[in-house]
Amino acid sequence: MGNLVIDDLSMRFDLPNGGSVQALKNVSLQLAKGELLSVLGPSGCGKTTLLNIVAGFLAPTGGKVTLNGETVTGPGPERGMVFQQGALFEWMNVRRNISFGPDMAGRPAAETKPVVDTLLRTVGLQDFGEKMIYELSGGMQQRVALARCLANDPDVILMDEPLGALDALTREKMQGLVLRLWKETGKTIILITHSVEEALLLGERLVVMAPRPGRIHKEYRLPFAEMGVGRDLRSVKKEPEFAQRREEILGMIWDMEEEIMGRQEEQA
Ligand SMILES: Nc1ncnc2c1ncn2[C@@H]1O[C@H](COP(=O)(O)OP(=O)(O)OP(=O)(O)O)[C@@H](O)[C@H]1O
């Protein structure tokens, strides 16, 4: 039995004009503790909706999510979320951003301080604890977001395009950090990305979703995340199997997008 069970999820949004959108239909997935799943798919295939249901921000119209046997009915500290950007508290320094969850939970400062010190070192920000968020680069801000999430010691980390706003070089460094954190912490991670390369590099499992209705189109089990731990990720991308998978998945998503365009032209 998986640690996180997504069981036959469906989500229909009712629209003000009386119509509705079937954002997800019969999506099932099981993640064992410590698995890293990346989710790819064309725009509108329900990736964010899926993550928001697992986070407990949205209630599904069908099916359910359970974590360690408990049904998810709302947000909870055992499920941490890392967004693309903008979710940090600008008016607090780095240290206070990271300790926010434990502070809110009423943990004593003397207990939290060493945890924050360790996390600052883990994400390479040991000299930046007293800085304000606006003094940091985008990559550093995402390091804070990761540390803040880890400070709550969640069982599952949900990442919605966490590296999407970063420049290419910073993004590559951060991909290495995500892999290292995954291995060091043993957390279960679901990562949404629009980048096929990122999904291949970081996902030991990868799900490609299809739109209208949002559903699982294909699932892979991949060796690259394991290969990439502690290794230059550019060398992983040079593996022949990596290039082959990249072309296969790019072609799959291209075909889906062509079909969506075709349908939109028919409707116009
Ligand atoms: N609150 C809402 N009300 C109505 N429709 C919604 C709502 N949220 C999402 N949708 C619709 O559900 C579908 C799935 O949206 P979702 O944002 O989950 O897709 P996505 O794969 O994350 O897209 P993207 O890659 O562009 O972020 C889309 O057609 C979207 O318009």
Q: What digits encode the pLDDT tens for the residues 213-266?
A: 999 999 999 999 999 988 889 999 999 999 999 999 999 999 998 888 887 777
Query: Ligand 1 test: best mutation among 12, 21, 194, most atoms within 8 Å of CB?
Result: 21
Query: Are residues 100 and 204 both part of a single domain?
Result: no
Query: Are residues 73 and 94 both part of a single domain?
Result: no
Domain boundaries, position 70: 1-45+54-78+156-212+225-268
- pTM for the predicted model, two decimal places: 0.93
> Is 183 inside a domain boundary?
yes
**Residue type at position 170:** T
Question: How far, in Å, CA of 129 to CA of 96, rounded?
Answer: 8
Residue written as token pair 């116009």: 268
CA 98 vs. chain centroid, Å, equals 19
41 backbone φψ class: left, alpha, beta (φ>0; ψ -120 to 50):
left
> Is 220 inside a domain boundary?
no
Q: Whose CA is nearest to atom 26 of ligand 1?
A: 43
Q: What is the pLDDT of residue 1?
A: 42
Per the structure, how many domains does the chain have? 2
Question: How far, in Å, CA of 75 to CA of 62, rounded?
Answer: 18
Which residues, judged by CB distance below 6 Å to any ligand atom, belong to the binding site of ligand 1? 13, 21, 23, 41, 43-49, 214
Query: Are residues 63 and 124 both part of a single domain?
Result: no
Query: Are residues 13 and 71 both part of a single domain?
Result: yes
- Looking from the CA of residue 46, the nearest atom of ligand 1 is 18
CA–centroid distance, 44 to ligand 1, in Å, is 5
Query: Are residues 143 and 259 both part of a single domain?
Result: no
Q: Residue 181: enclosing H or E segment and its boundaries?
A: helix 168-185
CA 152 vs. chain centroid, Å, equals 16
Query: Are residues 139 and 268 both part of a single domain?
Result: no
Query: Are residues 202 and 252 both part of a single domain?
Result: yes
Question: How far, in Å, CA of 148 to CA of 143, rounded?
Answer: 9
Q: What is the pLDDT of residue 264?
A: 77
Of 62-76, 92-106, 160-174, 184-198, give the lowest mean pLDDT range. Answer: 160-174
CA–centroid distance, 20 to ligand 1, in Å, is 12
Query: Are residues 94 and 29 both part of a single domain?
Result: no
Residue range 21-39, pLDDT digits in tens: 999 999 999 999 999 999 9
Question: How far, in Å, CA of 231 to CA of 122, rounded?
Answer: 17
Q: Whose CA is nearest to atom 18 of ligand 1?
A: 46
Residue range 75-112, pLDDT digits in tens: 999 999 998 877 899 999 999 999 999 999 999 999 99
Share of the chain above pLDDT 70, in %: 99
Tell whether ipTM is more than 0.85. yes
Query: Are residues 196 and 238 both part of a single domain?
Result: yes
Q: Whose CA is nearest to atom 7 of ligand 1?
A: 13
Q: What is the pLDDT of residue 74?
A: 96
Among 32, 27, 33, 34, which residue's Cα sits nearest to residue 52? 27
